[in-house]
């Protein structure tokens, strides 16, 4: 049996075979990682919904239009690893609401309250170019 075992061992490669089912991601410094973050709102009678927040300069004024599919409005952002995002939904161009699916909120210092996602991380990130 020993010669057979040696023959089998000799035919094996010690090069690891990549696991194609894993969450392999690009190697990059943590400071360059960005994560996809999905935001959604159960649809009611709204005609339009924008995601607004501090996720980019001017994000409170010029939001991200959300798309409606069946009974849900949704949008996805690329957020830097470790970032905290304050946001609200802007309904029909006139009404602000907190995210009813997110119990985390914070006062904005101006008498309002915003929904918040803290310390964004993800299993599968991408790398943004160094600036």
pLDDT in tens, 96-119: 999 999 999 999 888 999 999 999
Average pLDDT of 122-128? 87
Number of structural domains the chain divides into: 1
Q: Taking the CA atoms of 131, 114, 49 and 43 in sequence, report the sign of the dihedral they define.
A: positive
CATH code for position 47: 2.60.40.10
Q: What is the pLDDT of residues 20-29, one digit of tens each?
A: 444 555 678 8
CA atoms within 13 A on the CB side of 2: 0
Position 85 in a domain = yes
Report yes or no on 112 lying in a domain.
yes
């Amino acid at each position: 049996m020993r010669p057979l075992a040696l023959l089998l061992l000799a035919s094996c490669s010690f090069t690891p075979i990549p696991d194609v089912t894993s969450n392999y991601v690009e190697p990059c410094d943590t400071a360059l990682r960005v994560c996809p973050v999905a935001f959604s709102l159960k649809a009611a009678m709204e005609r339009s919904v924008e995601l607004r927040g501090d996720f980019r300069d001017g994000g409170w004024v010029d939001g991200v239009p959300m798309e409606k599919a069946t009974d849900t409005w949704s949008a996805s952002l690329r957020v830097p690893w470790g970032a905290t995002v304050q946001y609200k939904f802007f309904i029909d161009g006139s009404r602000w609401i907190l995210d009813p699916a997110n119990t985390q909120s914070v006062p904005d210092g101006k008498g309002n309250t915003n929904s918040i996602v803290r310390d964004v991380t993800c299993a599968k990130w991408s790398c943004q170019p160094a600036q």
